[in-house]
Amino acid sequence: MDKIPVLKPKKLKRNLTILTLLFLIVGSAWFAGFNFIEVMINLGKGGRLLGRMFLPPDLSYLPNIVDPMTETVRMAIVGTFIGATLALPIAVLTANNFIKSKLLHGPLRIILNIFRTIPALVLASLFVAVFGTGPFSGVIALSIFTFGLVSKLTYETIEAIDYGQVEALMSLGANKMNVLRYAIMPQILPQYMSYTLYGFEVNIRAAAVLGYVGAGGIGQTFEYNLAWRNFDRVGTIIIFSFFIVLIIDLISSSIRKRLV
């Protein structure tokens, strides 16, 4: 039987890509001083720390962290609310199919991009330096971050809507506001709500560590106990926040699944 010749694609490009990737990975591991053997040898130390945190955690400390945890949840709620509320009108202005002006949505896009690029923790430490410590600085940081995130996701959704409905309304003589109210909003609102909830999930996690720079919430208690090496209390804080985040995630993602 004759062999059927199989034409294989040229391998040069693939090999070059793999080589570049390998170079990048090995290079960065070397640059960062990553030593796999050292990690393996010292793994025991991490185990000992985990042991001091969780075997057993100091559960008598639990009543002391309910208040900071409540503050964390409040910060996340307020930050998400402010950020997402501001995001909706800005997203409409930024989408390139509602208002067709490059002068408007070009700069807006750059600003939104900058907001999203600066990590919430850095924003928070900036605001702590300006407004002083406390949840207020944290809330502003979360608001700005949520605003950038939700605006971006929402304007991309607006740009991807079914334009037929808009044209149908325009052909009936509807003005811009009518188009917005009856053609765009109904199409994007479920997505927007879903993005807001997603932002809330991200914010709960972010709010839990913001206290590390003095911006309120459970992170402050965490940092304090870590500095005093009360590892069994740190363990309690980790377990408690873990469950709160897990519960909120489960609720939020089940709502999101039903929305979209």
Would you tell me which residues interact with another protein (CB under 8 A)?
Answer: 24-25, 27-29, 31-35, 38-39, 42-43, 45-46, 48-50, 70-71, 73-78, 81, 113-114, 117-119, 121-122, 125-126, 129-132, 134-136, 139, 205, 208-209, 212-213, 226, 238, 241-242, 245-246, 249
The residue (of 126 and 185) whose beta carbon lies closer to another protein is 126
User: How many CA atoms lie less than 13 Å away from 187 in the CB half-sphere?
Assistant: 19
Rounded-to-integer distance, Cα 190 and Cα 221, Å: 37
Nearest approach, Cβ of 33 to another protein (angstroms)? Answer: 6
Listed in order, strand segments (DSSP E) in 33-147 are none
Rounded-to-integer distance, Cα 242 and Cα 245, Å: 5
Rounded-to-integer distance, Cα 18 and Cα 170, Å: 52
The residue (of 98 and 240) whose beta carbon lies closer to another protein is 240
Whether 169 and 187 have beta carbons less than 8 Å apart is answered as no
Query: Taking the mean position of all CA atoms in its chain, how far away is CA 38?
Result: 33
Burial class (CB in 10 A: 0-12, 13-18, 19+), 76: buried
52 Cβ contact partners less than 8 Å away, ≥ 6 residues apart: 231, 232, 235
Nearest approach, Cβ of 200 to another protein (angstroms)? Answer: 10
The residue (of 96 and 253) whose beta carbon lies closer to another protein is 253
Nearest approach, Cβ of 35 to another protein (angstroms)? Answer: 7
The residue (of 58 and 249) whose beta carbon lies closer to another protein is 249
The residue (of 158 and 204) whose beta carbon lies closer to another protein is 204
Nearest approach, Cβ of 169 to another protein (angstroms)? Answer: 16
The residue (of 76 and 90) whose beta carbon lies closer to another protein is 76
Whether 105 and 97 have beta carbons less than 8 Å apart is answered as no
Nearest approach, Cβ of 249 to another protein (angstroms)? Answer: 7
Nearest approach, Cβ of 91 to another protein (angstroms)? Answer: 19
**What's the token pair of residue 24?**
């990048």
